[in-house]
């Protein structure tokens, strides 16, 4: 340990501001010569008195969630840096080794988006793979996450790694990996991978300039061309009348969304100041680059209104998610942002209807959605006679698993998948959500509707008139840091221990807990499991329900409210939709208020000061309704 590191460690011990877990990990980092590059950053945090940041960065190892390893960039085992990226890459080598020589020979596709450090982190991965005798396939720059999934299958590679934090704040980055079928691994394999990560002590790297380059294959335009051609093949309608504006938010959308729309023949104008990849994200809404949020999509929407466009698309940094804003009526100048549930339902109806008209239906066709996505998707699919799996956990990895199982069984039909968080997938060549697929199909839907004087908003009302009206709302509570994690844990424990008897004036008929009882007890419960989800059912058909779950990728608790009301014949849809929307919003606020009250109700009086602090932290959490 250097003198500077020793002095810093002594000072941290004297301050007594860190937990024993965090202090232990800081000491390991300061004593390790290979981590000496992080000493100045640790020292700077201490000098600035950022004890909460130091505690959160060092008190535990970063988790694997629904999107892989993801988090804030910085020093520490609970941050994204060359060490944690290297650990993940080294663990993947061991994961591959366990599956034999053929797996080693397949190699790994390595890609990255535009975030801070992405190119360097991708280089670390290639150097680790090279040191372990595994070839990597590299693109010449930024690529979208779905193209990495595509490339794994196209190149018959064993795995793929994308350096990305998807829609997380711009201060984050991550390591997302795909297996040979193009999807992310699911239990028990994800648990095996994470166990390997935690066991990594030595990271083997062969610098590219010192011989590692011979283990790297640089990819030419062939993969890009094959990917764009495959997306274009999903076209179901020839109309190109919709005028489109596209915002890439300085991410990878320039490599997939824009060329797909242009090749298809659409009139599309990119937002010029957002088109080029840029790790500083200069036009971001603060730290936010998640297009689920209206302020993130503001520039594309404003430009669309200014040029008289029908649609505004906005993709997230790795271009797997796509937000859609559309005119409310054909003559309206203003565009309104659609929720992912609304786009998913409209696309399901449009695509299945077009395929029926074209005689393209197959008994093997399949629609997939997560349980927290609107049940309208399943209603539509089944009305068209198409099988629908509608109770999946959050994350496209579950959909990819089912699609692969169907392929293995020879049941390859038309696959369409959607989730409420603006993710959409069609076809069988990508095994993750894809903003370019969404953009193509939504643009065709908007064009076909425009040709008959309709908009997506009006189309939704037509669907509600036929199927009944759904209102889906998501209420988020953001709770960063170690304390935030503790508060989320207490809320989920409390909701299980003391579920509400009524919500929104309706009796709670049933409580569905996806987490096994042995995992939900106080002594055993830990935030981060993919099945950590509790639903309060408000009607026998489960169409009215409230679900709570911690995010797998961000420090947030998420509440999903779904209400349903039939639309009687000859009744104007707005007269049902508007009051239903009001009720859904009220219910979203009610469940969040109730959640604060269940914190720590089982703890003894001696711990009530801690309970009070947790409840205060809950009240200070950032709230947002989507």
Q: 481-492, pLDDT tens digit by residue?
A: 899 999 999 999
Q: What is the mean pLDDT of residues 111-126?
A: 98
pLDDT, one tens digit per residue, over 282-302 is 999 999 999 999 999 999 999
Number of domains in the chain: 4
114 DSSP 8-state letter: S
Q: Where does the pLDDT of residue 65 fall: very low under 50, low under 70, confident under 90, or very high at 90 and above?
A: low
- Structure confidence by residue, pLDDT tens digits, 154-172: 999 999 999 999 999 999 9
Same domain, 350 and 249: yes
Tell me the average pLDDT across 412-424: 97
**What domain range is 509 assigned to?**
468-625
Model pTM score: 0.96
Catalytic residue selected from 144, 166, 447, 520: 166
Residues 349 and 449 in one domain: yes
Please give the Cα distance from 519 to 525 (Å, whole number).
5
Rounded average pLDDT over 402-419? 97
349 and 475 in a common domain: no
Tokens found for residue 179? 């297996």
Predicted local distance difference test score (pLDDT) of residue 67 = 54
pLDDT for 283 equals 96
Whether residue 526 sits in one domain with residue 394: no
CATH of the domain at 535: 3.30.310
Cis geometry, peptide bond prior to residue 188 (ω within 30 degrees of 0):
yes
Query: Are residues 245 and 277 located together in one domain of the fold?
Result: yes
Regarding whether 48 and 32 lie in a shared domain, the answer is yes
68 domain-assigned:
no
> What confidence tens digit (pLDDT) does each residue in 609-621 have?
999 999 999 999 9
pLDDT score, position 528: 77
Q: Comparing C-alpha atoms, which of 538, 535, 477 is closest to residue 504?
A: 538
d(C-alpha 391, C-alpha 488), whole Å:
24
Q: Could you tell me if 553 and 581 lie in one domain?
A: yes
Quote the pLDDT of residue 26: 96
> What number is the average pLDDT over the span 598-608?
93
Q: Are residues 563 and 575 in the same domain?
A: yes
Which residue would you say has higher pLDDT here, 330 or 319? 319
In this structure, of 183-197, 376-390, 482-496, 561-575, the range with the lowest mean pLDDT score is 183-197
Is 69 contained in some domain? Answer: no
Average pLDDT over residues 587-605: 95
- Asked if 523 and 605 sit in the same domain, the reply is yes
pLDDT tens for 491-521 read: 999 999 999 999 999 999 999 999 999 999 9
pLDDT score of 140? 96
Does residue 244 sit in the same domain as residue 379?
Answer: yes
The DSSP code sequence of 481-547 is: HHHHHHHHHHHHHHHHHS--SEETTEE--EEEE-S-HHHHSTTT--TT-TT--EEEE-STTS-SEEE
CATH number of the domain residue 400 falls in: 3.40.120.10
Average pLDDT, stretch 414-419?
A: 97
Q: Summarize pLDDT for 172-202 with one digit per residue, the tens.
A: 999 999 999 999 999 889 888 988 988 999 9
Domain match, 511 and 435 both: no
Going by the DSSP 8-state scheme, the letter that residue 119 receives in this structure is H
Q: Are 114 and 283 in contact (CB under 8 A)?
A: no
- Predicted confidence at residue 553, as pLDDT, reads 80
Q: What is the DSSP letter of 391?
A: E
**Is 166 considered catalytic here?**
yes
* Residue 291, in any domain of the structure: yes
Residue 586 forms part of a structural domain:
yes
Task: Point out the domain boundary residue: 435, 467, 499.
Answer: 467
Q: How confident is the model at residue 69 (pLDDT cuts 50, 70, 90)?
A: confident
Mean pLDDT, range 243-269, rounded to an integer: 98
Percent of the chain with pLDDT over 90: 93
Asked whether residue 76 carries a pLDDT value surpassing 60, the answer given is: yes
For the segment 247-262, the average pLDDT, to the nearest whole number, is 98
Identify whether residues 128 and 182 lie together within a single domain. yes
Query: Where among 219, 236, 266 does a domain terminate?
Result: 219
Residue 65 lies in a domain: no
Which of 185, 219, 253 is a domain's end point? 219
117 pLDDT higher than 60 = yes
- The reply to whether 528 falls in a domain is yes
Q: What mean pLDDT, rounded, does the chain reach?
A: 95
């Amino acid at each position: 340990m250097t003198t500077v590191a020793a002095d810093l460690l002594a000072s941290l011990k004297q301050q007594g501001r860190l937990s024993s877990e965090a202090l232990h990990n800081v000491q390991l980092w300061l004593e390790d010569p290979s981590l000496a590059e992080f000493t100045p950053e640790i020292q700077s945090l201490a000098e600035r008195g950022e004890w909460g940041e130091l505690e959160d960065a060092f008190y535990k190892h970063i988790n694997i969630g629904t999107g892989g390893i993801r988090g804030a960039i910085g020093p520490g085992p609970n941050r994204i840096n060359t060490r944690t990226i290297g650990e993940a890459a080294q663990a993947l080598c061991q994961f591959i080794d366990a599956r034999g020589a053929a797996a080693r020979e397949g190699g790994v596709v390595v890609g990255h988006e535009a975030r801070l450090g992405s190119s360097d982190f991708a280089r670390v991965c290639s150097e680790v793979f090279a040191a372990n005798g595994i070839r990597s396939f590299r693109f010449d720059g930024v690529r979208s996450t779905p193209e990495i999934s595509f490339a794994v299958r196209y190149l018959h590679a064993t795995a793929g790694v994308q350096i990305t934090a998807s829609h997380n704040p711009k201060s984050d980055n991550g390591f997302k990996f795909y297996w040979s079928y193009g999807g992310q691994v699911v239990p028990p394999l994800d648990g095996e991978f994470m166990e390997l990560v935690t066991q990594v002590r030595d990271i083997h790297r062969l610098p590219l300039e010192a011989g590692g380059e011979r283990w790297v294959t640089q990819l030419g335009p062939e993969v890009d061309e094959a990917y764009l051609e495959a997306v274009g093949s999903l076209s179901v309608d020839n109309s190109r009348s919709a005028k489109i504006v596209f915002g890439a938010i300085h991410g990878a959308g320039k490599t997939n969304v824009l060329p797909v729309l242009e090749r298809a023949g659409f009139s599309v104008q990119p937002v010029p100041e957002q088109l080029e990849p840029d790790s500083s994200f200069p036009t971001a809404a603060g730290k936010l680059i998640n297009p689920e949020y209206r302020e993130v999509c503001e520039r594309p929407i404003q430009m669309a209104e200014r040029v008289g466009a029908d649609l505004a698309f906005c993709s997230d940094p790795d271009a797997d998610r796509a937000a859609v804003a559309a005119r409310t009526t054909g003559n309206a100048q203003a565009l309104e942002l659609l929720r992912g549930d609304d786009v998913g339902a409209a696309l399901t109806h449009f695509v299945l209807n077009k395929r029926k008209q074209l005689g393209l239906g197959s008994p093997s066709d399949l629609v997939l959605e997560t349980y927290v996505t609107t049940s309208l998707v399943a209603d539509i699919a089944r009305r068209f006679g198409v099988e629908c799996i509608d109770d999946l956990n959050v994350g496209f990895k579950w959909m990819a698993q089912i699609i692969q199982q169907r392929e293995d069984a020879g049941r390859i039909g038309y696959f369409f998948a959607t989730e409420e968080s603006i993710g959409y997938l069609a076809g069988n060549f990508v095994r993750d959500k894809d903003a370019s697929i969404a953009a193509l199909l939504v643009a065709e839907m908007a064009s076909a509707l425009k040709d008959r004087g309709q908009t997506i908003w009006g189309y939704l009302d037509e669907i509600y008139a036929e199927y009944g009206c759904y209102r889906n709302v998501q209420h988020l509570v953001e709770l960063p840091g170690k304390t935030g994690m503790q508060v989320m844990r207490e809320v989920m424990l409390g909701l299980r221990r003391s579920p509400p008897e009524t919500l929104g004036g309706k009796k709670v008929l049933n409580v569905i807990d996806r987490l096994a009882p042995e995992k939900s007890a106080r002594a055993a419960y830990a935030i981060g499991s993919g099945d950590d989800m509790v639903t309060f059912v408000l009607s026998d058909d489960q169409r009215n329900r409230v679900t709570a779950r911690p995010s797998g990728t961000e420090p947030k608790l998420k509440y999903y409210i779904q209400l349903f009301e039939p639309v009687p014949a000859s009744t104007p849809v707005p007269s049902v939709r508007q009051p239903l929307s009001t009720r859904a919003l009220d219910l979203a606020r009610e469940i969040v208020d109730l959640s604060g009250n269940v914190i720590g109700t089982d703890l003894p009086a001696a711990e009530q000061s801690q309970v009070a602090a947790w409840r205060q932290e809950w009240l200070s959490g950032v709230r947002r309704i989507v």
